[in-house]
Amino acid sequence: MRNSLIRISLLLFVLLFTVDSTPLKAQVSNSLKAIIEEGPAANSFWSVAVTDSIGRLIENYNASNLIRPASTQKLVTSAAYLHLLGPEYRYETTLYGVGEQDGDTWKGDLLIRGTGDPTINDDFYDDPLFLFDEWVQLFDSLGINKIDGNIIGNDSYFDDVPYPRGWEWDDLSYYYGVETGALSFNKNVVNLEVLADGEIGSTPDIQWYPFNTPYVEFINEQIITPPNASFQESYRRILGTNTIVLRSSLPKGYYETEPLSITNPAHYYIDTLKRYMQKMGIDVRGQLITDRQYRNWNDPDYTVFYTHHSIPLSEIIREKNQNSNNFYSEMLLKTVAAERYDTEGSTDLGLQAVKHFLHSTGVDTNYVRMRDGSGMAPANLIRATDLNHLLYELKTMEHFEHFHNSLALSGRSGTLQYRFQNSPVRDKFYGKTGFMSGVRTISGYMRTRHDQDIVVTIATNNYVLRTGVIDGVHQRILEYLYSVY
């Protein structure tokens, strides 16, 4: 009897170990291990998690260690935005008048209520000035060609903190490190064009959009170099100002474009509006004012001239993920905070809402650190297993189709358009890439050679080689997984 009990106990132990521990303690295959440890970046930190079609972890290389996700963090925030706001969510921007019309003159102020619309730009419209043009046409239809009052931009829907914590200062001059604001135009950048068509040693010509606005000041210290020289980029906005110092070296005949950030987006918005109205023949006689005060928007003294509705969130998310747009991600984060908590939108409150969503999917958020919505802060941390778990759980959740459609397709679209061109993985992987100094990541869904659906996260942290070398190793890993599973 005693021997029988011992045998039964041993059998139960073996069964328990075999069934329960395999999903949690999956080991990396020798082939995958060799790709990493015999590759050119073996001394970097690597993490790989692969989950099969029923949620089992089938490849585990440091998968439970914390990684810096870079822009694969947008997978987390995009899922949360779709869940918390819904794919049909649209922003509203309303133009009010406070006063009355007297002949061809509006006697009183114009007031613009911003709610964070990030889409007043050329990603979705032919001309970022489209909304201002619609307002000009409205005034023309009313016979108004003079505004005897101020233009006021109300920026109170978001808080006044322009950046998330932890962004590096030298990113803040560029399009991927812009300020957020409830009133935003042209993704809060000016579009610089440089043409080096002068003599060697001279200064190249510049112009910028919109209409060479004096809202920014360029200090042009660039130089034209011989035609066979390499292009050396140097742009820097003096922080806290709209003065931008240009010190690039451009080979003769070289043409360069660069979107460069501005400060105080709400003022940029109304400044551009006023200049456009004047350009189109509407005389604006008052001042430009940005305010953050609470207003009763239902006040009968406020005349609604025009309400603009943005494109739906599902389309914004597609642009955000396929082209890894930091601006959209941070604007949406504050929008979630404002909508969820009925207060001014802030990064911290938005992150709180995102982490609550992440926890609801079964992720242990004690192992998640988030500083922003886009993944640009080096202090962001998550585990590859948690990214995989989220992606797996999303397949059964509402709005998954919109989420999946927002991802780049290998060899075809977005940040994956020029990768995997001559690879069996082309057209087989939908996902998101991430990059920052020393960090390269990729995460998403793959249909394998044997028609299996797997979830893959690959992260390389702390590398010093060219990023193209790391991409080559990532491709080898994905091709191996494609062929085996």
Q: What is the pLDDT along the chain (485 residues), one digit of tens a residue?
A: 444 444 444 443 333 333 333 344 578 899 999 999 999 999 999 999 999 999 999 999 999 999 999 999 999 999 999 999 999 999 999 999 999 999 999 999 999 999 999 999 999 999 999 999 999 999 999 999 999 999 999 999 999 999 999 999 999 999 999 999 999 999 999 999 999 999 999 999 999 999 999 999 999 999 999 999 999 999 999 999 999 999 999 999 999 999 999 999 999 999 999 999 999 999 999 999 999 998 999 999 999 999 999 999 999 999 999 999 999 999 999 999 999 999 999 999 999 999 999 999 999 999 999 999 999 999 999 999 999 999 999 999 999 999 999 999 999 999 999 999 999 999 999 999 999 999 999 999 999 999 999 999 999 999 999 999 999 999 999 999 999 99
| Residue 19, in any domain of the structure | no
The range of the structural domain enclosing residue 118 comes to 92-309
What are 61's two structure tokens? 């290389």
The dihedrals phi and psi of 444, each to the nearest 5 degrees, come to: 165, -160
DSSP structure class, residue 366: G
289 with 324, same domain: the answer is no
The predicted pLDDT at position 274 comes to 98
| Residue 52, in any domain of the structure | yes
293 with 228, same domain: the answer is yes
| Residue 9, in any domain of the structure | no
| Residue 292, in any domain of the structure | yes
Distance CA 422, CA 415 (A): 16
Nearest to 322 by CA among 392, 390, 409: 409
Q: Kind and range of the H or E element at 441?
A: strand 439-447
304 with 358, same domain: the answer is no
pTM passes above 0.85? yes
What are 224's two structure tokens? 């034209």
The predicted pLDDT at position 458 comes to 98
The predicted pLDDT at position 6 comes to 42
Whether the Cβ atoms of residue 259 and residue 121 lie closer than 8 Å to each other: no
Distance CA 28, CA 389 (A): 18
Sequence letter at residue 196: A
435 with 387, same domain: the answer is yes
| Residue 169, in any domain of the structure | yes
| 330: CATH | 3.40.710.10
| Residue 188, in any domain of the structure | yes
Among 309, 342, 358, residue at a domain's last position: 309
Among 280, 309, 338, residue at a domain's last position: 309
Nearest to 191 by CA among 257, 134, 147, 146: 257
332 with 303, same domain: the answer is no
282 with 395, same domain: the answer is no
Distance CA 66, CA 369 (A): 10
153 with 222, same domain: the answer is yes
Distance CA 78, CA 70 (A): 14
139 with 274, same domain: the answer is yes
How many CA atoms lie within 13 Å of 207's alpha carbon, on the beta-carbon side?
5
33 with 133, same domain: the answer is no
Nearest to 112 by CA among 95, 136, 89, 128: 95
The predicted pLDDT at position 148 comes to 98
Neighbours of 8 (CB within 10 A): 10
Taking CB atoms within 8 Å and a gap of at least 24, the contacts of 12-15 are: none
297 with 320, same domain: the answer is no
| 265: CATH | 3.50.80.20
The predicted pLDDT at position 25 comes to 57
| Residue 10, in any domain of the structure | no
Angle at 228 between CA 223 and CA 232, to 5 degrees: 45
Among 244, 276, 309, residue at a domain's last position: 309
Task: Give the number of domains in the chain.
Answer: 2
34 with 134, same domain: the answer is no
107 with 223, same domain: the answer is yes
- Whole-angstrom CA distances from 149 to 29, 141, 253, 290 are 71, 19, 47, 14
| Residue 174, in any domain of the structure | yes
